Amino acid sequence: MVLCVSVEALYRDTFPEYLQYIYLVAPISLMLLNPIGFIFCEIQKWRENINTQQSKLKTVALVLLQVFKNPIVFMVIVGICGNFIFEQKIPVIIGEFLDGLASSFSGSALFYLGLTMVGQIKKLKKNSFVAIILLITAKLLVLPLISREMVELLDNGSTEANYTSLSNYAFLYGVFPTAPSVAIYASQYNMEIEIVTSGMVINTFVSAPIMYLSAWLLTIPSMHTHVLQSEIRNISFDISIVTLIFLVWSVAVMLLSKKFKQLPHLLSVNLLLAQTMVCLGMIMWYIITKQNNLLGQVLVFIVLYSSLYSTYVWTGLIALSLLLLEKNAFKQRGFFIVAGWG
């Protein structure tokens, strides 16, 4: 649903046919990708309950039978057959009944996902958190990039405008969160339910700002220059306020715990202070640009960019200090402070 709304808002006036592509991709996923995943799940299930007396042919037949018995695969086949039987015109009574089932499935899957999340976080171990991070990274960063590159490789014959829009559409399609039905599949095959459910919930929350940012970036080519500058200034102001809150919190924790007296925490505090000055500079820049004060704009610009470049220097100094601490050669604290702020 979120995908349909976003695609319609972005491409309603320029490429309205992109909304139909969503319904074109869904049957391909159900008929090709899902059965492949179910086959691997059945193979893993067979390996866990291996029976040495079965022949390979019988094993393959049993795996395929279990895949076709899966409700997702079976009902898709029934739906395709019904499409030919009713000549692509579903009767009104059957259509209303199927619409009710389709509407209830997502709600039931989300309810089950929330139900299985209760008490699961406490059961997760360190390796489980690593697996969740890798899965989320692959879903939100790797998959959109792969989708975009594949479209660019396969769609060389289109015009430049259509070529760019299709690749951006593929990237946007890859960013959207996973369907909640995955939790039901994981429960059915008893495959790392804690990791799957926790990863899906975290992925849904993390994907929200990425979806917003991706959708906003896709509208940049169609923006007027003045509108684009205004939007960038507004977004930078909003991000600076949110970042400033967390930076103040982090600096307060460092000072109250007295970790700033130790290395490399001393350098980390200076990095946080430099980032705080960047946020304050961006907030002041947002205010000063609305006034005709040239001197104020110059001073704020100097503070903003000197602090910004200082963050780059502090990042390198922290890496260098870690190397010197490893070699027991870190002696000149004052030199690092002057270099970081100089």
Percent of the residues in the chain that have a pLDDT greater than 90, as a whole number: 6
- Helix 265-288, helix 294-326: angle, nearest 10: 160
Going by C-beta distance under 8 Å and a sequence separation of 6 or more, which residues neighbour residue 313? 339, 340
Global pTM reads 0.61
User: Residue 162's pLDDT band (boundaries 50, 70, 90)?
Assistant: low
User: Residue 342's pLDDT band (boundaries 50, 70, 90)?
Assistant: low
Dist CA 304 CA 281 (whole Å): 5
Helix, coil or strand: residue 219: coil
pLDDT of residue 67 exceeding 80, the answer is no
Closest CA to 324 of 316, 245, 129: 316
The amino acid occupying position 65 is L
Three-point CA angle 211, 217, 174, nearest 5°: 40
| pLDDT value of position 112 | 73
pLDDT of residue 94 exceeding 90, the answer is no
| pLDDT value of position 92 | 82
Dist CA 45 CA 39 (whole Å): 10
Better-predicted residue by pLDDT, 2 or 88 = 88
* Arithmetic mean of pLDDT, 308-325: 84
* Arithmetic mean of pLDDT, 296-316: 88
pLDDT, the chain, mean: 78
- Cβ atoms of 3 and 177 closer than 8 Å: no
pLDDT in tens, 215-238: 777 777 777 778 778 888 888 888
pLDDT of residue 140 exceeding 70, the answer is yes
* Arithmetic mean of pLDDT, 93-97: 81
pLDDT of residue 96 exceeding 80, the answer is yes
| pLDDT value of position 227 | 79
Element (H, E) at 141: none
Better-predicted residue by pLDDT, 164 or 82 = 82
How many CA atoms lie less than 13 Å away from 193 in the CB half-sphere? 16
| pLDDT value of position 276 | 92
- Cβ atoms of 307 and 278 closer than 8 Å: yes
Average the pLDDT over each of 10-19, 82-91, 267-276, 318-327 and give the range with the smallest value.
Answer: 10-19
The domain locations on the chain are: 2-220, 226-341
| pLDDT value of position 51 | 59
| pLDDT value of position 339 | 74
pLDDT of residue 144 exceeding 60, the answer is yes
| pLDDT value of position 280 | 92
pLDDT in tens, 239-285: 899 999 999 999 898 888 887 777 777 888 888 999 999 999 999 98
| pLDDT value of position 275 | 92
| pLDDT value of position 330 | 63
The amino acid occupying position 72 is I
Dist CA 51 CA 11 (whole Å): 54
| pLDDT value of position 118 | 63
Count CB-CB contacts under 10 A for residue 124: 14
| pLDDT value of position 52 | 53
Greatest pairwise CA separation for the chain in angstroms: 87
Residue with tokens 């899966």: 70
* Arithmetic mean of pLDDT, 57-67: 77
Which DSSP symbol is given to 121? G
